[in-house]
Amino acid sequence: MAPISLVEISGGWIAGIVILCVVGGLLIGYFVSRYVFKRELKKHPPIDEKVIRAMFSSMGRKPSEAQVRQVMRSVRDAQSKK
């Protein structure tokens, strides 16, 4: 004897639920990864003093500490305006 089912779910409903879950997961994953990426960029900026010194030396110049700080300040200001 087959068990009596009070609710029968058709294939269309199952497909709809699966698609809804996939789209929801993609949206949640996008926003979580965006938040984590921005937080990591704020903690560890891609340009630091070592990179600025290397850039100056590749141009054949020996930068003073004031020049390095000025470039860092301008980079920080440009990032905060975005």
pLDDT digits (tens, 9 = 90+) for 32-79: 999 999 999 888 878 888 889 999 999 998 989 999 999 989 988 887
Report the amino acid identity of residue 75: V
The pair of three-digit structure tokens given for residue 81, joined into one six-digit string: 């305006």
Sign of CA dihedral 63, 65, 67, 69: positive
- Rounded Cα–Cα distance for residues 28 and 76 (Å): 30
Centroid of chain to Cα 11: 37
The residue extents of the domains of the chain are: 21-81
Single-letter amino acid, residue 24: G
Nearest to 79 by CA among 50, 45, 32: 45
pLDDT of residue 1: 56
44 DSSP 8-state letter = S
Instruction: Give CA–CA dist 80/75, Å, rounded.
Output: 9
